[in-house]
Amino acid sequence: MSVSAYILIQTEVNKAAAVAEAVGALPGVATAEDVTGPYDVIVRAEAETVDELGKLVVANIQAVDGITRTLTCPIVHL
């Protein structure tokens, strides 16, 4: 069973579109959308395990130029 999460991203000023495009091209990212409000980009990501999801966020998403902060929200099925 795979693990999915929403990742909320804050970016540097005027970097949201470039960040969404770069993150959206990463393997494991289903969608990446520019939004307004306290976060600039919202991503839906999928991985086989929680550990792989963490690696995706830390090693790949957070490495994208222009990102200042991320918040990962794993999806739960209650």
Tens digit of pLDDT for each residue in 19-34?
999 999 999 999 999 9
Is there a contact between 26 and 46 (Cβ–Cβ < 8 Å)?
no
What does the pLDDT average to over 51-72? Answer: 97
Q: Return the bridge partners of 44, or none.
A: 6, 31
1 pLDDT more than 80: no
Pairwise CA distance, residues 24 & 46, whole Å: 12
Residue 65 and residue 52: Cα distance in Å, rounded? Answer: 21
How much is the average pLDDT of 57-76?
97
Binned at pLDDT 50, 70 and 90, residue 59 comes out as: very high
Q: Are strands 3-11 and 67-74 parallel, antiparallel or unpaired?
A: antiparallel
Q: Note the pTM of the prediction, 2 decimals.
A: 0.93
Q: CA-to-CA distance for 2 and 66, rounded, in angstroms?
A: 29
pLDDT at 5 over 90: yes
Q: Which two tokens stand for residue 64?
A: 């994208």
Domains annotated on the chain, with CATH? 3-74 (3.30.70.920)
